[in-house]
Amino acid sequence: MATPAYCFGTLEIDMDEKPEEITIHCNGRITAESAHMFQRDVRDNCIPISRGKGVPVINRIVLDLSNVTHIDNSGLEALLDVWTASQRRACSVEIMNIGPQVFRRASLNSLNQAFRKLLALFE
């Protein structure tokens, strides 16, 4: 089931929900203007708080970055925050379709050391 698009300044997201999985399609720029709202929305609305008996719980989040044109330090920190929060709650986060310019930005970033391990998971 697709939910309506959300707009956080320079970033628009659409969510496709399935039992135990949600795909978040990101369009635009993940920058200081949008990063905090993006990470808060994903952390609060997608990552499970607890696992209920017999109740399907999201255990996989897919971030589709195919339409992300730019990401800055704040955007990289937001992705790391989402990934870290999901790991604490036994939920996997996968990043797919990261564009070469965005990947290069993440690789050359001052946060390179922290993201090397994270980016290696998505190659």
Asked if pLDDT for residue 117 goes beyond 70, the answer is no
* Tokens standing for residue 45: 């609305």
Asked if residue 59 lies in contact with residue 100, where contact means CB atoms within 8 angstroms, the answer is no
How do beta strands 92-96 and 2-8 pair?
Answer: unpaired
Asked if residue 73 lies in contact with residue 81, where contact means CB atoms within 8 angstroms, the answer is no
Residues 6+ apart with CB under 8 A from 93: 60, 61, 62, 63, 82, 83, 86, 87
Domain count, the chain: 1
pTM (global) more than 0.85: no
Per-residue pLDDT tens digits for 14-64:
888 887 888 989 899 888 888 888 888 888 878 776 555 655 577 888 989
Residue of 13 and 119 predicted with greater confidence: 13
Rg of the chain over Cα atoms, rounded to whole angstroms, equals: 14
Mark residue 59 as left, alpha or beta (left: phi above 0; alpha: psi -120 to 50; beta: remaining): alpha
Per-residue pLDDT tens digits for 54-113:
555 778 889 898 898 888 888 888 888 888 888 888 888 888 887 776 666 655 554 455
The pLDDT, as a whole number, for residue 43 is 83
Residues 6+ apart with CB under 8 A from 88: none
CATH assignment at residue 72: 3.30.750.24
The pLDDT, as a whole number, for residue 3 is 53
Query: Residue 40 sits in which domain range?
Result: 2-120
Residue 1: pLDDT band with limits 50, 70, 90 = very low
